Amino acid sequence: MKRLILIKYGELTTKKGNRRVFINKLEENIKKLLKNDIKIIKKLDRMYIETLNIDLVSNKLKKIFGIQGIVIAYKVNTNIEKIKEAIVKILENQSFKTFKVDTKRANKNFAIKSMDFNNVIGSLVLKTFPCRVDVHNPEVTIKIEIREETYIYLNQIKGSGGYPVGIQGHGLLMLSGGIDSPVAGYLALKRGIDIDCLYFDSPPHTSLEAKNKVIKLAGILNEYSGNIRLLVVPFTKLQEAIYKNVPSEYNITILRRMMYRIATSIDQNYKVIINGESIGQVASQTLTSINVINSVTSFPIIRPIVCLDKIEIIDIAKKIGTYETSILPFEDCCTIFVPKHPVINPKLEKCLEYENFDYESLIKECIDHIEIITNFNNNYKELL
């Protein structure tokens, strides 16, 4: 009897002819994120991982997208007596008064049908342990999957679901230090988009603590990806030019337009820009504002949390581990110098009128001096 990890794919099983591509990507991501001494056996309906560190590996697998369920299973020969021996041995370490048996017979060469084998094993358990059958609310469910080999397990750990990161290509997340954008990044990763993060740094108006906060958020997201780069844009000169040349009520609108110009000018083969906008949450997120801001680019922009309310967003942030960092009191460049009365329904012609300063050269300077952070533990830095 061998102890191993069994992975259930969930949504990947709907991919039919493309399933193998998704499974290969999942295998690649597991190897990249785990970095443990593991052996992977992949099949179209299941994946199996053999390792000496089962508890550590199974815990890390919970953050890898493309996995619906994680099971610590026991593999035995598909032989009635071997299966019986294994089940007795497994249950010896369990404390339970009620149970049920759930057999799936994928191997049709096995002589006993699933329901009949449930009865065989149920009788064995009743004779061996002081317990009774409860098919509705059992304390222990004995799962038996009869394949070329037979796999026996009791509990299933819920995986993160979704698609393997990278299967949909590469996107750029506009990451601030707030609650919303990390959640948007997490949801994009869950749908298979590999992401880099873009942060606008505006010292001395924003602090080093604010930058470190974003580095930490990027590092948390990287636990779900293993491939994230944080691109830090030196935004001070351009932001100061906006506040010098633009009426205060239009500051945020023009600032956001400049951010999109920068995001779409970074030549890294991104397929999409991702942000944490939610309709109506702030002045720049009304439908009118979104349209005016978007008009600077035809680049695809997705907003994973666009129709969620704040409570729903906070719930996800707490679940993925970004909330406590996001609420640290360090302002980003979108929250400094916020006007008392920002325009809610900006006019495009007004934006074009106010953008009468040499922002092109300032944008180029921003892009030319982007800093890349790839090691979130040591804050390793290099220039783009």
Residues 122, 206, single domain; the answer is no
Residue 380 banded pLDDT, cuts 50, 70, 90: very low
Contact (CB, 8 A) for 346 and 253: yes
Euclidean distance between CA atoms 14 and 8, whole angstroms: 13
Over residues 352-367, the mean pLDDT reads 96
Mean pLDDT, rounded, of the chain: 91
Residues 148, 119, single domain; the answer is yes
Euclidean distance between CA atoms 219 and 380, whole angstroms: 12
Over residues 366-370, the mean pLDDT reads 96
Residue 384 banded pLDDT, cuts 50, 70, 90: very low
Output the pLDDT for position 378.
Answer: 55
Does position 381 have pLDDT exceeding 70, yes or no? no
| Domain CATH for 325 | 3.40.50.620
The helices-and-strands tally (H runs, E runs) of the chain is 13, 16
Centroid of chain to Cα 301: 18
Helix H or strand E encompassing 173: strand 170-174
Euclidean distance between CA atoms 80 and 160, whole angstroms: 34
The domain of 60 spans: 2-161
Residues 242, 286, single domain; the answer is yes
Residues 315, 281, single domain; the answer is yes
Question: Looking at 136, 161, 186, which one is the last position of a domain?
Answer: 161
Residues 220, 259, single domain; the answer is yes
Question: Looking at 137, 161, 185, which one is the last position of a domain?
Answer: 161
Residues 40, 97, single domain; the answer is yes
Residues 219, 254, single domain; the answer is yes
Give me 238's structure tokens: 């351009």
Output the pLDDT for position 382.
Answer: 44
Over residues 356-362, the mean pLDDT reads 96
Residues 152, 290, single domain; the answer is no
Length of the chain, in residues: 384
Does position 383 have pLDDT exceeding 60, yes or no? no
Residues 338, 261, single domain; the answer is yes
SS3 198: strand
Output the pLDDT for position 123.
Answer: 97
Per-residue pLDDT of 242-297, as tens digits, reads: 999 999 999 999 999 999 999 999 977 899 999 999 887 776 788 999 999 999 99
Rounded to 5 degrees, φ, ψ at 370 are -60, 135
| Domain CATH for 101 | 3.30.2130.30
Residues 210, 282, single domain; the answer is yes
Helix 251-265 / helix 287-294 crossing angle, nearest 10 deg:
40
Phi/psi class of residue 229: alpha, beta or left (left: φ > 0; alpha: ψ in -120 to 50)?
beta
Residues 224, 247, single domain; the answer is yes
How many domains are contained in the chain?
A: 2
Question: Looking at 100, 135, 161, which one is the last position of a domain?
Answer: 161
Does position 333 have pLDDT exceeding 90, yes or no? no
Burial 89-103 (b: 16+ CB within 10 A, else e): ebbeeeebeebbbeb
Helix H or strand E encompassing 258: helix 251-265
Query: How many CB atoms sit inside 10 A of residue 170's CB?
Result: 15
Closest CA to 255 of 281, 273, 233: 233
Angle in degrees, CA 217, 161, 91, rounded to 5: 115
Contact (CB, 8 A) for 100 and 137: no
Give the residue carrying structure tokens 């106010």. 354
Residues 152, 250, single domain; the answer is no
Over residues 368-380, the mean pLDDT reads 81
